[in-house]
Amino acid sequence: MRERVRARMMCTWTQAPRAHPKGSDAMKAYVFPTDSDWAAFLRANPEFDEVNFWLPSAVTFKALQVGDRFVYRSKSAVGGRLIGGGLYEGHVRMRVSDAWRFYGEANGCATRDDMLRSINHYRARNGQPPEADPQIGCILIRDSFFVPQELEVPVPPSYQASAVRGRGYDPQHEDWSYLEAAFVQLLVGARVPDLRPDADVAAYIEGPTRGLPRLMAPRLGQKGFKSLVLSSYHGQCAITGARITPTLEAAHIRPVAAEGQHRVDNGLLLRSDVHLLFDAGYLGVDERHRLHVSKRLQAEFGNGEEFYSKAGQPIAVPDRNVDRPNREAVQWHMDTVFLAS
């Protein structure tokens, strides 16, 4: 498994088109300065392959697309060195409590208190007051890996050590070829643990006959899926409007066991009891995002008015069209799971 995962990641990086035109479809990479304690903790715990690269403030990060490469840079040496990396899943803003609920020690800390102390340390350096549960920026990374210290790689030649937020690269950049080779070198030296059986990585598939290869983004990891669904639905149950975060769950419209994927458009944020009813077929959503309620809910349990009053009405959906419930997924659920009369 280790060799297969490493080989696939190397293959998908090196197949990147060298002369790809600039634009959203071009593979990109980002080299980011990395907290030493965060890196040391995760380097010592390689089983955490899906991690939260947190930022102490709730700043945005829009430099990458899902499946692009995120490269860790140490702060210890002059100019820093490349020490590992992974695949970018997305960026969300979360409270520390939610980040710990989703990622736990994969936040790069042994305890939530350790994480909070580290965050408030950085906030103090930036003139921000400490908070008991601050909102932070979360760069979500999957297939994360580190190399032993003796196998670290120098940063790209043009990289400026003063770049506090790091810098991005695309195939047009003069250092792209260097970064390609460096990433492969890191993968060769990485102690890649056994990953999940369903682990996916980005893959290049052929586009039009006269076109260049295009990137097919990987599905998300489970932690990334939950985090991004919570963010996309603004922490609100899509059906009831409930906002009590500990009761909310990221539901798959089409389950992974039935060939569904960890994708935001295959997800709904639902209150835990609503999640159970959806999975059991008492509730459904059609391709126009309208709620359907099975008559069997009343017949079998003698209640359900909370849902019958909403039947036929649109549910709450994410702001971005690309994140809204996928037509094929909801049709599968209505045809296969929903308990029609």
Encode the chain (341 residues) as per-residue pLDDT tens digits: 444 445 445 544 444 333 333 444 567 999 999 999 999 999 999 999 999 999 999 989 999 999 899 999 998 656 689 999 999 999 999 999 999 999 999 999 999 999 999 999 999 998 888 999 999 999 999 999 999 999 999 999 999 877 778 899 999 999 999 998 998 899 888 865 444 444 443 332 233 322 333 334 456 788 999 999 999 999 999 999 999 988 999 999 999 999 999 999 999 999 999 999 999 999 999 999 999 999 999 999 998 999 999 999 999 999 999 999 999 999 999 999 999 86
DSSP tag of 20 = P
Distance CA 65, CA 81 (A): 24
CA gap 186, 192 in Å, rounded:
11
2-216: CATH class:
mainly beta
For the chain, how big is the Rg over CA atoms in Å?
Answer: 22
Tokens 């790809």 map to which residue? 20
Q: Please write the tens of the pLDDT for every residue from 179-229.
A: 989 988 998 888 654 444 444 433 322 333 223 333 344 567 889 999 999
How far apart CA 208 and CA 319 sit, in angstroms, is 31
> What gap in Å lies between CA 238 and CA 183, rounded to an integer?
40
| Contacts (Cβ under 8 Å, ≥6 apart) of 278 | 251, 268, 270, 284
Residue whose structure tokens are 């997800």: 267
- pTM recorded for the entire structure: 0.80
Task: Look up residue 91 and give its amino acid.
Answer: H
Beta-ladder partners of 203: 216
Q: Domain limits of the chain? A: 2-216, 233-336
Tokens for 247?
A: 């009761």
